[in-house]
Structure 1
Amino acid sequence: MKPIVSKDSIVYFNEDCYTALNSYLEKANHSTIFILVDSNTHEYCLPTFMSKIEKSYSIEVIEIEAGEIHKTIETCSGVWNVLSELGADRKSLLINLGGGVVTDLGGFVACTFKRGINYINIPTTLLSMVDASVGGKTGVDLGNLKNMVGVISESEMVLVDTNYLGTLPAEQMRSGLAEMLKHGLIKDQTYWKKMSDLSKLTTEDLDLLIYDSVIIKNEIVTIDPTEQNIRKFLNYGHTIGHAIESFYLTHPDLPTLLHGEAIAIGMIMEGFLSHHLLDLSKEALSEITEIILQTFPKVSIPKQYEQEIINLLIHDKKNENGTIYFVLLNKIGEATYNCTVPNDLIQKSFEYYGNITT
């Protein structure tokens, strides 16, 4: 697979990953290399990664706890302190080996430590391969508000080695499919059709779907790196989805939802809004609902919590001057950004999802 070139970074795939990495490390002459892992990737991914480095370098490993709940400024502070204690300087390199939490948080740590050191993302989950590690968004959560603190700054390179997917539990694999389905819905009807039947998916098929998904996202972020216009398309399903994810993350009586599980709900609800406010047909809404529910089982959202979730929408990063903006669909493969939605229709989208029979 040919490398995908973005504005300030390059995404390499599988067999090209370590050739590119070793060439880069040899030429860059970094003072120290730090590898950020979580407790899972330390055990399951780090040994493989270390075996791919051809020459001897000064390398230190920093481990954080796994899980979205640890994607905080407090965790960043711990990593900053360790970097400082181990003598990191502005010629140091941080390699982020992990899922979206590691790549988002690690990128933010790198961009802010000593006003910025180089970093490389090596995504190890499907979600981070097609979304979190591409496009330069870095950051952490603020309480239960997703990705409230961060910067946009691309890594030196992204290495997508799909062999790491063999370390994932099924629910983590499924979570990544949500962003891939989203890419089809907002930009490419043909890709959506390819994603609509995963029952006979082979490893080679998955590699190609990941590659195409990265191309779709890269085309958007290259045109609009700072999310002034069309990069907002990538937030389809996220306005409601992030609010649901945040609420479930911190509520003691509710299960934690993976990012993709929450975004899947958001895409169905925002599909409902698209049908009522734009030109998305009833047939297309039914298709979106059916395809997503084939992969993501319906989640029970207790009615007494709906208004609290809706109240979280005001914190969405697309909002301006207190106005909540949505990305909605004109049709499958074509989106519109900066859409406003009446509050009563948002409530009806919860009713639509709740009334779905499976």
Structure 2
Amino acid sequence: MDKLKADLLAQVQAADSLQALDEVRVAALGKKGAITAQMKNLGGLEPEQRKAAGQALNAIKDDVAAAIEAKKTAMADAELNAKLLAEKIDVTLPTRPEREGFIHPISQTIEEVVAILGEMGFEVAEGPEIEDDWYNFTALNIPEDHPARQEHDTFYLPGVGEKGRKVLRTHTSPVQIRTMMHSKPPLRIIAPGRTYRCDYDATHSPMFHQIEGLVVDETTHMGHLKGCLIDFCRAFFGVDELPVRFRPSYFPFTEPSAEVDIGCSRKGGEFKIGHGEDWLEILGCGMVNGKVLENCGIDSTKYQGFAFGIGIERLAMLKYGIPDLRTFYESDLRWLRHYGFQALDVPSMVGGLNQ
């Protein structure tokens, strides 16, 4: 037994590769191995001898298996160390060049608008993009036969919610409704976000962005609305004394309602915002309709306010000279490098535009 053990352990130590070590394992522990052959001979011994010999063979088997595993681990470690020594990395090499990222014009414009209106005391409010028909239309005093409620203008979803059919919101006005229903005046919010309508051409997209404002209190009047939007337009476009006019219009959710135009010039085929002989419509606004206030549980005999809505893409196209709305969503990196902005160019709402 001692000689068998010594011979097998010597073979294990002499193995110089994993393949040779595996051959030793088969020769010692396999079906036709040396230890297995000795096990088969135990049947011809006396019971006491068989017991002693069996215990000795099992001990040898365990010792040889442990020696093989230890040798295998040592050889694997040696192989890994040799590989690590051979495969060196030169950490002094320069990094691979990476293109610098840019902020999308839509994100830039939203940040600018939020920063300007934030300095006027507005707070950002948000709401779901999948709305009930009631929040998107009915609560806003939009009648059943209004064109905006037709299938060819609005994306309707299967199923019916708690307050009517499900719809991809066509404006961020439902955020105003939810705010008025769940908060008490005075209110002063802006609601930026994605909106959806069935339309697609150079100046329209099935998905676009809006930012709407709402003020509700006991003293706000049309003069406050005009002052707010005049200051906003001049701050956003960076034109002192920018001409701004309010043209009477109609919206179901405001009364009176107005379209806001800014002065511009189109001489010589060149478009320029500022003093000129022409006007350009920029947004819609008005005093909140009393029916809308009542629908939200607000006493219209005590409270009044104003609201306005601005298309973010429209503002970006005018300010940054982007001719086609569809290019905003084509994921063209060349376009983004041309019209995009560095991170430090984006104003922060904290501290206003002077940051």
TM-score w.r.t. the length of structure 1 is 0.22
Higher RCO (C-alpha 8 Å, min separation 6)? 2
Which one has a larger percent strand, Structure 1 or Structure 2? 2
Q: Computing the radius of gyration over CA atoms, which structure comes out larger, 1 or 2?
A: 2
Which one has a larger percent helix, Structure 1 or Structure 2? 1
TM-score w.r.t. the length of structure 2 is 0.22
